[in-house]
Every structure is written in C-alpha cells, then in structure tokens.
Amino acid sequence: MQVPFLDLKTQYKQIKSEIDKAITEVLESTSFILGKPVQEFESEFAKMHDVKHCVGLSSGTDGNHIALWALGIKSGDEVIIPANTFIATAWGATLCGAKPVFVDCHPESYNIDTEKVENVINKKTKAIVAVHLYGQPADIDPLIEIAREYNIYLVEDAAQAHLAEYKGRKVGGLGICASFSFYPGKNLGAYGEAGAVTTNDDELAQKFRMIRDHGSVKKYTHVLLGHNYRMESIQGAVLKVKLKYLEKWTEERRRVASRYRELLSDLEEIKLPVEMPYAKHVYHLFVIQVNSKPDKRQEVRDKLQRFLNENGIGTGLHYPIPLHLQPCFKELGYKRGDFPVAEQLAESGLSLPIYPELTDEQIEYVAEKIREFFRRKC
Ligand SMILES: *Cc1c(COP(=O)(O)O)cnc(C)c1O
C-alpha cells in the first residue's frame, strides 16, 4: 500500500469541474489581480472566522510581514516568537528590521510556553506572535493578559490553523490581527502562492489594503510606503471554491486524528499529540514523538522514518532545526540547550500523513507499520 505524506490529486479530482470553471472565468475576464474573486473570497473567509476584515495577499510569509509592518514595528524593536515554528514567522520581524526573541514551547501543546514569555519582555518588546502550530491554537488568554499588562501587540500566525477554535472562539480575531497561509499543502490551499491577514480593527484593515497595493488607495498616489503583496484573482477564485468544503475537510482531518489515537494510544514507545482542553485542533499536522532516551531519540526517529518510507509511507519533520539554532540567526547568540522542549521536538518528532482523503485502510496500515517497527526493534 502507498500512503503519501500529502495527496493533493485526490482532492482536485473531486472538485475538478468547479475549479476548472472558476479558473476559466478568470482567464476569460483577463482581470488577473485582486478584483471580484478575491473580494468575494475575503468576505466569506472573514465571515467564517467571525472577524470583520480579511485582506488577501500573495503569501502567508507576506502576511507575517505586513502584520508587523502595519503595526509600526521597526528597527530597534523586539518581537517574541516561539522557537519551534516555520521560519516565516520570524521573517515578519526581521523584514521590519526588528529582532526576533525566541521562547521555548510547552511540552504538551507544542505552542509557545506562556509562562516563559514575561522573562524576555523589556522596553524594546513591541509584540508577541502566537503561532497556532500544527493546527492547535496557542493558549491565548494568558497572552492577552501579558499583552495588556505590558502594552504590546498580540499577533496570531494562523497559517496552519484555518477554522481552529480557542475556547469556542475562532482563530483570526483573537489578537490585534492574524496572518493565514494558503500554500497548497495547508488546510486551505491555493493552486499557487497565497495568504491573508484578518483583523477587527477598521484602521488597521485599511492600512493592510494600502500596503499590499504600493501604499495607495488611488492608482499612482502613494500615501504610505508599501509593497506588492496582492493576491492573484485565480487564487481567489480557487480558494472561494475550496472554502465551501473547508468545514467538512476539517472534520475529516479530525476523524483521521482520532483514528490514529484509537490505534496507537497504548503504544508506549511513542507520544501522541495532545489536544488541549481549550482547543479545537484542526490537525494541519499530526506530530508524534518517539519516547527514547535523549541520546537515542533522533536515531530511533530517523530509523522509524526510514522504515515507514521503505513501506510506502511518507512522513515529514516539522521542524528539524528550531529557529534559535538556524544558521541565519547565528549572531543572535543562542546555543543548544537554550530551549530544551523545542530541541526535543526537533529530534524526536515525526509527522504522520494526515489529510481529509486518507482512508481507514491507509490509517490502519500506517498504525500497523509503526507497531511493527517497535516489535522488530525489541
Ligand atoms: C506556511 C507557514 C507560513 C508561511 O506561509 P507561506 O504561504 O508559505 O508563505 C508562515 N507561518 C507558518 C507557521 C507556516 O506554517
């Protein structure tokens, strides 16, 4: 049996006629940037996330940047970021000329450890970026309190967390603003690059709209410094079609996760991801950890990955090098041992295939092969 890590083809086949029609309409309109398809997508995406504004962008990375840019983050400022996330979260700060300051993650939620945030706050701190990693919302209430107490911004990176909920509230409107990614492999994926920012703040939304379009509301009058971060019409049209299925697909991801749990929870050699009591997890990724001793865990994880691969099962590493140990951040002066939880995840974590189209047979096969690996090892 083959279980690829990601399978976008099955989904495309299911919705091909609608997608092809939507793309053809854009081609025939010859209007390729922003326009009606993007506007319609923006308003539907905002409504689904109970947030007032959605501004469509060229990528999630641009969302990370524009969020902090529009808030006025600049050189000399510091921005708090979890040590375990995709690199783009940190580009938001560095592209504004600000310094990313890393914080370890929580051993159960894998998100920023809210108890460790205050230790790094100083006069230069301007924002906290809470990443809803793997599809599970960060513990937002303590972060809201910290942000209020120190008068700093709380920004969400919801790139992996479309429709996820924190205590019954949708992500996207939990802080001052949020960025989303529609990279093809994300829970809601475009057919190319795309992203968005959301906010309940009218003024901020207006700034986002201007910055993404060269700092202008009227062509060739540039009120603010800006960039070209506009969403393409074809991506808006594709996303609008796919948005109709997002709730159903999210439930399918949750089905896969609970099936993995049923099949694997008694296996002592691995730790399954924890769905926190405050969270509705949308399982962009299902990251297990091997429970081996610190000096062995990376070796066992790599062997497990190789064994699964030899049996036709694709897996991923998210992420193999935590941000504080990335070569590009060498001059920030972090060292191994600074963030033990993030480092443990990097060494022992393995992402299993998870997507709405995964069949029960495929899930059972993955679970059986994981069991077989540990049986053979003993
Ligand atoms: C994917 C991702 C991004 C960047 O999104 P792109 O659309 O690929 O630019 C940012 N942050 C996180 C946490 C992501 O997973």
Domains of the chain: 8-103+110-243 (3.40.640.10), 246-377 (3.90.1150.10)
Among 160, 229, 284, the mutation site with the greatest number of ligand 1 atoms within 8 A of its Cβ is 160
pLDDT at 377 over 80: no
111 pLDDT band (50/70/90 cuts)? very high
133 DSSP assignment: G
Shortest-distance Cα residue to atom 7 of ligand 1: 60
Q: Is the CB of 235 within 6 Å of ligand 1?
A: no
The protein residue with its alpha carbon nearest to ligand 1, atom 2, reads 159
Contact in structure between 212 and 55 (CB atoms under 8 Å) = yes
**Most informative mutation of 132, 180, 183 for ligand 1 (most atoms within 8 A of CB):** 183
Query: Mean pLDDT, to the nearest integer, of 7-11?
Result: 96
CA of 111 to the centre of ligand 1 (A): 15
The pTM for the full model equals: 0.98
131 within ligand 1 shell (Cβ under 6 A): yes
Neighbour-count burial of 337, counting CB atoms closer than 10 A to its CB (0-12 exposed, 13-18 middle, 19+ buried): exposed
Instruction: Report which of 351, 353, 344, 340 is spatially closest to residue 292, judged by C-alpha positions.
Output: 344
Determine what percent of the chain is predicted with pLDDT higher than 90. 98
- pLDDT for residue 378 is more than 60: no
- Residue 86 near ligand 1, beta carbon < 6 Å: yes
By three-state DSSP, how is residue 330 classified?
helix
Judge if the beta carbon of residue 59 lies within 6 A of ligand 1. Answer: yes
